[in-house]
């Protein structure tokens, strides 16, 4: 089976930031996962280099536009190469073959009657490369997406008949509910289409930095509008317009985008493909944005995160693990060094690294580094069953883009291994003369590490190669089939010593972000103002808001596991959940989180519940508790335990 996975092509008006790295890590992980399963894959990434914004950025830097685009594009490619991103092609929209493919697509659409010439007058945002009707503007002037001032533009343009495909798009969304992932993002796209689609301006005459129209049009004053040009990269990379060499990979199995460009990929792109009589991608996955220590990143605040800086300090594999584990796909994530360090020390160093060290140490002491799985099934059937159950759950999480749940489930294997060592205490068995039982436990954990390292390899390929080398096997499709699919155990082997995989991190290794200050005031002035406000606070009012510790403990907070979840009909906000609080029966909790979480994404996840509230009725339904959540201008997120806990575990 073939798989085609794409990132968006990154705009070359600035160097790569942490959001670009996140998208690319997901795509690289999915590609490695599909290869591990034996699927034939093609992974595309690259840079988007045309448009008025690039032309203006080059002018500001005093460089020819092509030279400026070359330099910025190279920073992306060099960084992905340094990070060992396994792309098959790095496409640039300035590539000659790409331009040929875009021109062919224009000719096909024009011949079909889907492109026509007219005049356009409207508000244009240079930053977003998008026209907006006046009714969508903020205060009649500012871009509804980025907030910048728009310009009134009137010029001759070719238009694509986007309105023609309105009904076809809505049918496709209904017939393919997983076309947009996560599903919670689909409503915003559907509502936009239902609001009526206007034909799309696809060429410009007010600048020259873009793909010229085909010679057959005999109209060289036009260049193609950036979205028609950019979106075509996904097929021109496969040879469309030239030799169709790799078009067998189309349609794409997964196209990853940031939530800010979902509309273009879920509306414009499928409409273009319908016009070209090409099949639509199987899935478009839209991820959220990253903040830093709870604040939106911006150059003016000085808190933009360089992925290279983080990688140089902490290691690229640790960064990959943190970003894929920290946030549910589709939601916004927060980059905190403290949270990053906690995951390195707790999950990577303690749970995984220390487990390998213990097995190496025990095998050296008890069996001269020799490990034999001959008695594992005899003494550890229970652990093997639990391990295989967790392994069996992993594919579903990866297919649904739930990398955080994938890693959470995978970490159950290390918990099984650590618990087996404590419960069976090989050192005690050796003293009791039960050497076969002791060595069976060591072999059990070696097998757990082998199988887990295979499944962790798409996320941390270098680290898991080291583990596999220590366990004397190779991670590939053959070992995946043998150890994971067929559930076989390692054959007799000698384990090797390796240096600690994850040295503990005691202090932040990169400079912390400066505290946020409004961009329009000098720092010294702001510092004085903030100091004055702090000094002027009334101690009395603060004391009035304090509570006794006994009052706090009157609230019962518990860890709950969501076992069922469904939407509440006729409600835009409510989900009805069945939550296990370890009480022998589930509690029904009705929560207003539908705008931020899909019902499917909550099943089998953990939540924090106020457990001693009086039952209340919401839309005629009894709610027996309340979920803890945090909400700011960027949205809502549930408060969750850092590590899985038993249902009913008290908080406090």
Tens of pLDDT, residue by residue over 387-418, are: 999 999 999 999 999 999 999 999 999 999 99
Total number of residues shown for the chain? 652
Q: Are strands 40-48 and 89-92 parallel, antiparallel or unpaired?
A: parallel
Q: Is residue 571 very low, low, confident or very high in pLDDT (cuts 50, 70, 90)?
A: confident
Q: Distance (Å, rounded) from C-alpha 534 to C-alpha 530?
A: 6
Q: Is residue 527 very low, low, confident or very high in pLDDT (cuts 50, 70, 90)?
A: very low
Q: Residue 534: what pLDDT?
A: 38
Find the mean pLDDT for residues 583-606: 88
Q: Tell me: pLDDT of 299 over 70.
A: no
Find the mean pLDDT for residues 172-179: 97
Q: How many helices (H) and strands (E) does the chain have?
A: 25, 28
Q: Distance (Å, rounded) from C-alpha 619 to C-alpha 414?
A: 44
**CATH match of 549-651 with 2.40.50.140:** yes
More confident residue, 139 or 393: 393
**Tokens found for residue 75:** 């920073």
Q: Residue 551: what pLDDT?
A: 54
Q: Which of 197, 190, 191, 192 is nearest to 175 (CA)?
A: 190
Find the mean pLDDT for residues 300-305: 79
Q: Is residue 420 very low, low, confident or very high in pLDDT (cuts 50, 70, 90)?
A: very high
> Which residues sit opposite 159 in a β-bridge?
116, 201
Q: Distance (Å, rounded) from C-alpha 507 to C-alpha 173?
A: 48
pLDDT in tens, 83-124: 999 999 999 999 999 999 999 999 999 999 999 999 877 788
Ramachandran angles phi, psi of 286, nearest 5°: -110, 115
Residue 508: CB atoms within 10 A of its CB come to: 14
Q: Is residue 549 very low, low, confident or very high in pLDDT (cuts 50, 70, 90)?
A: low
**Tokens found for residue 260:** 């800010």
Q: Distance (Å, rounded) from C-alpha 513 to C-alpha 61?
A: 27
Q: Distance (Å, rounded) from C-alpha 390 to C-alpha 409?
A: 6
Q: Distance (Å, rounded) from C-alpha 97 to C-alpha 341?
A: 45
More confident residue, 87 or 565: 87
Find the mean pLDDT for residues 37-56: 95
Q: Distance (Å, rounded) from C-alpha 80 to C-alpha 78?
A: 6
Q: Residue 516: what pLDDT?
A: 55
Residue 3: CB atoms within 10 A of its CB come to: 20
Q: Answer positive or negative: Cα dihedral of 401, 407, 408, 413.
A: positive
Q: Residue 144: what pLDDT?
A: 82
Q: Residue 418: what pLDDT?
A: 96
Report whether 608 belongs to an annotated binding site.
no
The answer to whether 575 and 590 are in contact (CB under 8 A) is: yes
Find the mean pLDDT for residues 499-506: 95
0.95 surpassed by pTM: no
Q: Tell me: pLDDT of 191 over 80.
A: yes
The answer to whether 269 and 242 are in contact (CB under 8 A) is: no
User: Average pLDDT over the chain, rounded to whole?
Assistant: 90
The answer to whether 324 and 25 are in contact (CB under 8 A) is: yes
Q: Tell me: pLDDT of 545 over 50.
A: no
Q: Residue 526: what pLDDT?
A: 42
Report whether 125 belongs to an annotated binding site.
yes
Q: Residue 314: what pLDDT?
A: 97
Q: Distance (Å, rounded) from C-alpha 401 to C-alpha 286?
A: 10
Q: Tell me: pLDDT of 139 over 50.
A: yes
Q: Distance (Å, rounded) from C-alpha 10 to C-alpha 47?
A: 5
Q: Is residue 300 very low, low, confident or very high in pLDDT (cuts 50, 70, 90)?
A: low
Instruction: Count CA within 13 A, CB hemisphere, residue 266.
Output: 33
What is the CATH number assigned to the segment(s) 337-494? 1.10.730.10
**Tokens found for residue 475:** 């991670």
The answer to whether 35 and 253 are in contact (CB under 8 A) is: no
Q: Residue 518: what pLDDT?
A: 46
User: Hey, which bits of 491-574 come out as E strands?
Assistant: 493-494, 557-567
pLDDT in tens, 213-231: 999 999 999 999 878 999 9
First and final C-alpha spacing in the chain: 50
Q: Tell me: pLDDT of 543 over 50.
A: no
Find the mean pLDDT for residues 538-543: 39
**Tokens found for residue 644:** 């899985």
The answer to whether 16 and 10 are in contact (CB under 8 A) is: yes
* Angle, vertex CA 545, rays to CA 541 and CA 549, nearest 5: 140
Q: Is residue 512 very low, low, confident or very high in pLDDT (cuts 50, 70, 90)?
A: confident
Find the mean pLDDT for residues 267-284: 98
Q: Residue 62: what pLDDT?
A: 95
**Which superfamily does 2-112+158-296 belong to?**
HUPs (3.40.50.620)
Q: Residue 616: what pLDDT?
A: 82
Instruction: List b or e across 192-209, with b for residues whose CB sees 16 or more CB atoms inside 10 angstroms.
Output: ebeeebebbbbbbeebeb
**Tokens found for residue 580:** 């296990």
The residue ranges of every structural domain in the chain are: 2-112+158-296, 337-494, 549-651
Find the mean pLDDT for residues 590-604: 86
């Amino acid at each position: 089976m073939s798989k085609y996975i794409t990132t968006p092509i990154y705009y070359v008006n600035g160097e790569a930031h942490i959001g670009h790295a996140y998208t690319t890590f997901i795509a690289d992980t999915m590609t490695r996962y599909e290869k591990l399963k034996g699927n034939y894959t093609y992974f595309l990434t690259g840079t988007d280099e045309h448009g008025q914004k690039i032309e203006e950025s080059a002018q500001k830097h005093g460089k020819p536009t092509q030279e400026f685009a070359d330099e910025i594009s190279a920073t992306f490619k060099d960084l992905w190469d340094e990070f060992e991103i396994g792309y098959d092609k790095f496409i640039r929209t300035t590539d000659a073959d790409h331009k040929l493919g875009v021109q062919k697509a224009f000719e096909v659409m024009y011949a079909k009657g889907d492109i026509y010439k007219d005049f356009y007058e409207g508000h244009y945002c240079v930053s977003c490369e998008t026209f907006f009707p006046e009714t969508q503007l903020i205060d009649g002037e500012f871009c509804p997406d980025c907030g910048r001032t728009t310009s009134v533009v009137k010029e001759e343009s070719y238009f694509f008949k986007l309105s023609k495909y309105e009904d076809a798009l809505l049918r496709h969304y209904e017939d393919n509910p997983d076309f947009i992932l996560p599903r919670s993002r689909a409503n915003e796209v559907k509502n936009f289409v239902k609001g009526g689609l206007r034909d799309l301006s696809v060429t410009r005459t007010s600048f020259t930095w873009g793909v010229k129209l085909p010679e057959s049009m005999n109209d060289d004053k036009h260049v193609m509008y950036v979205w028609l040009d950019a979106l075509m990269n996904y097929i021109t990379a496969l040879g469309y317009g030239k030799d169709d060499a790799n078009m067998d990979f189309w349609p794409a199995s997964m196209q990853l985008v940031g939530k800010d460009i979902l509309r273009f990929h879920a509306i414009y792109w499928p409409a273009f493909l319908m016009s070209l009589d090409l099949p639509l991608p199987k899935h478009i996955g839209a991820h959220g944005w990253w903040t830093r220590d709870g604040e939106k990143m911006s150059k003016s605040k000085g808190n933009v995160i360089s992925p290279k800086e983080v990688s140089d300090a902490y290691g690229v594999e640790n960064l990959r693990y943190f970003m894929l584990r920290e946030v549910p796909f589709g939601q916004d994530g927060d980059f905190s060094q403290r949270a990053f360090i906690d995951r390195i020390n707790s999950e990577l160093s303690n749970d995984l690294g220390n487990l390998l060290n213990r097995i190496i140490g025990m095998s050296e002491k008890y069996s001269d580094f020799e490990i034999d799985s001959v008695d594992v099934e005899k003494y550890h059937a229970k652990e093997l069953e639990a391990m295989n159950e967790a392994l069996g759950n992993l594919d579903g999480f990866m297919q649904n883009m739930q990398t955080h749940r994938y890693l959470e489930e995978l970490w159950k294997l290390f918990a099984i291994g650590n618990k087996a060592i404590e419960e069976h205490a090989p050192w005690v068995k050796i003293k009791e003369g039960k050497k076969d039982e002791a060595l069976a436990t060591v072999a059990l954990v070696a097998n757990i590490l082998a199988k887990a390292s295979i499944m962790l390899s798409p996320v941390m390929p270098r680290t898991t190669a080291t583990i596999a080398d220590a366990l004397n096997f190779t991670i590939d499709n053959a070992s995946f089939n043998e150890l994971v699919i067929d559930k076989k155990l390692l054959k007799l082997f000698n384990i090797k010593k390796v240096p600690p995989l994850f040295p503990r991190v005691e202090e932040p290794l990169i400079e912390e972000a400066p505290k946020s200050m409004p961009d329009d005031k000098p720092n010294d002035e702001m510092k004085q103002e903030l100091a004055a406000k702090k000094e002027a606070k009334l101690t009395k009012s603060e004391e009035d808001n304090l509570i006794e510790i006994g009052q706090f403990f009157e609230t019962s907070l518990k860890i709950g596991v969501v076992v069922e979840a469904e939407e509440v009909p006729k409600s835009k906000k409510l989900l009805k959940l069945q939550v296990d609080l370890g009480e022998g029966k589930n509690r029904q909790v009705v929560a207003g989180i539908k705008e931020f979480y899909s019902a499917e994404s909550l099943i089998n996840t953990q939540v924090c519940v106020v457990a001693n509230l009086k039952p209340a009725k919401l839309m005629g339904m009894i709610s027996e508790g309340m979920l803890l959540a945090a909400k700011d201008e960027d949205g809502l997120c549930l408060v969750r335990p850092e590590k899985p806990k038993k249902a009913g575990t008290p908080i406090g």
